C-alpha cells in the first residue's frame, strides 16, 4: 500500500476494506491473562519510560530537547490521568495478540487484502491494545499526508467494532507509535559503517517521525 499511497491511488473504499479485515482479525485474535498483562498500566508506563531513556542520547541530534520534554510530559500526564481507561481496556478484552508492525508497506491489495510480515520474534511487540494497532496504521497514513484516509480508517473501524473508547486513546497511541519509529531510525545512526549520505537520510526520517509524534500532543 505504500507504493499506491505515493501514487495517490488509495481510495476510501480500499481503506474501508482494510478496516473490515482488521476488525475481523482483532475479534478472532487470541487474548488471555498473559496477553492482557501487556495492557496494564504499569506495563504501558514501563514501555514509555523505556522509549524516553533510550532516546536521551539523541537529544540535540534527531530530537530537540524541548520536543523531547513536551512529548514526555504529555505521555506521563495522559497515563496518570487515564488509569481507569487503561484498566477498562484490559477488563473488556481489548488487549490481543495483534500484528505488531502494521504500517502501509505491510498491506497488499490483491483479490483479497493481504496483511503480512507480523512480528514473530518478540511477543511483547505483538501483545497490545487493538487501539494501538489501529493508531499505528492511522499514524502511517498521516505520515503519507493522507489525514483524510487516516480519519476514515479510524471511523470505519470504530463503527464496525463499536469500540468508542478507541477514540479517547487514538492520539496517545499515535504519538507513541510515531515516537517508537523515530527511536528505531535513530538507532541506525549508531552504525559506524553507515555511509554519510545514508546517515543524512536516516536522520531526516527520524526527525520527521519525532515531529509527527509531537503533532499529536496538542
Is the model's pLDDT at 60 over the cut of 80? yes
**Domain residue limits, the chain:** 2-215
Is the model's pLDDT at 199 over the cut of 70? yes
CATH class given for the domain over 2-215: alpha beta
Q: Specify the pTM.
A: 0.96
Closest residue by Cα to residue 95 from 175, 167, 34, 140:
34
What pLDDT is stored for residue 123 in this prediction?
A: 81
Strand ranges, E, within the chain: 95-97, 107-109, 113-115, 127-129
C-alpha cell at 154: 479510524
- Give the integer Cα–Cα distance in Å for 172 and 139: 11
**Secondary structure of 28-61 in the HEC alphabet?**
HCCCCHHHHHHHCHHHHHHHHHHHHHHHHHHECC
| Average pLDDT rounded to a whole number, residues 158-176 | 99
Q: Which helix (H) or strand (E) holds 18?
A: helix 12-28
Contacts of residue 124, Cβ cutoff 8 Å, sequence gap at least 6: 38
Q: What's the pLDDT tens digit per position in 107-150?
A: 999 888 999 767 776 888 899 999 999 999 999 999 999 999 99
Amino acid at each position: 500500500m505504500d507504493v499506491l499511497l505515493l501514487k495517490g491511488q488509495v481510495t476510501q473504499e480500499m481503506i474501508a476494506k482494510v478496516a473490515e479485515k482488521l476488525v475481523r482479525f482483532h475479534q478472532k485474535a487470541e487474548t488471555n491473562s498473559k496477553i492482557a498483562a501487556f495492557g496494564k498500566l504499569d506495563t504501558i508506563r514501563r514501555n514509555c519510560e523505556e522509549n524516553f531513556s533510550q532516546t536521551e542520547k539523541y537529544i540535540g541530534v534527531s530530537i530537540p530537547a524541548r520536543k523531547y520534554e513536551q512529548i514526555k510530559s504529555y505521555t506521563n500526564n495522559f497515563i496518570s490521568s487515564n488509569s481507569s481507561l487503561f484498566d477498562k481496556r484490559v477488563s473488556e478484552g481489548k488487549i490481543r495478540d495483534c500484528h505488531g508492525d502494521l504500517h502501509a508497506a505491510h498491506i497488499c491489495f490483491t483479490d483479497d487484502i493481504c496483511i503480512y510480515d507480523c512480528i514473530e520474534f518478540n511477543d511483547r511487540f505483538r501483545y497490545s491494545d487493538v487501539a494501538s494497532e489501529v493508531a499505528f496504521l492511522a499514524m502511517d497514513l498521516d505520515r503519507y499526508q493522507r489525514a483524510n484516509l487516516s480519519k476514515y480508517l479510524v471511523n470505519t473501524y470504530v463503527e464496525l467494532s463499536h469500540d468508542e473508547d478507541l477514540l479517547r486513546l487514538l492520539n496517545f497511541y499515535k504519538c507513541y507509535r510515531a515516537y517508537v519509529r523515530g527511536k528505531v531510525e535513530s538507532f541506525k545512526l549508531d552504525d559506524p559503517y553507515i555511509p554519510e549520505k545514508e546517515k543524512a537520510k536516516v536522520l531526516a526520517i527520524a526527525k520527521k517521525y519525532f515531529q509527527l509524534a509531537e503533532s499529536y500532543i496538542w
